[in-house]
Amino acid sequence: MGPGGISPWSLLLILVIVLLLFGTKKLRNVGTDLGGALKGFKSAMNDGEKEAKEAKDSLEQDETNEEDAQTAQRDQVDETEKDKS
């Protein structure tokens, strides 16, 4: 017994019937189209992950720049207070 209670002989019979109905050329075209679709999906997923990483890196860089600006401002205030004393 195979998956779902279908024997290997039943699967082979189904495959033969499908080949007779559609022919090898049409099935080859369907396989090619399906492969192209999967390749495009994988490429889109990789592009999305890349964009997400770039956005995260950009956000971290902006936060670092903001912290640097705040530190510089605090240092300037401290120097001004020292000059007043």
Each residue of 30-47: pLDDT tens digit? 889 999 999 999 999 999
The domain tally of the chain equals: 1
Amino acid residing at 49? E
Amino acid residing at 83? D
Give the residue numbers spanning the domain of 42. Answer: 3-84
Which pLDDT score is estimated for 3? 58
Task: Record the pTM.
Answer: 0.47
Name the percent of the chain in helix, strand, coil, to the closest 5. Answer: 95, 0, 5
Digits of tens for pLDDT over the chain (85 positions)? 555 788 889 989 998 998 899 888 888 898 899 999 999 999 999 998 988 888 888 888 877 877 777 787 777 777 777 776 6
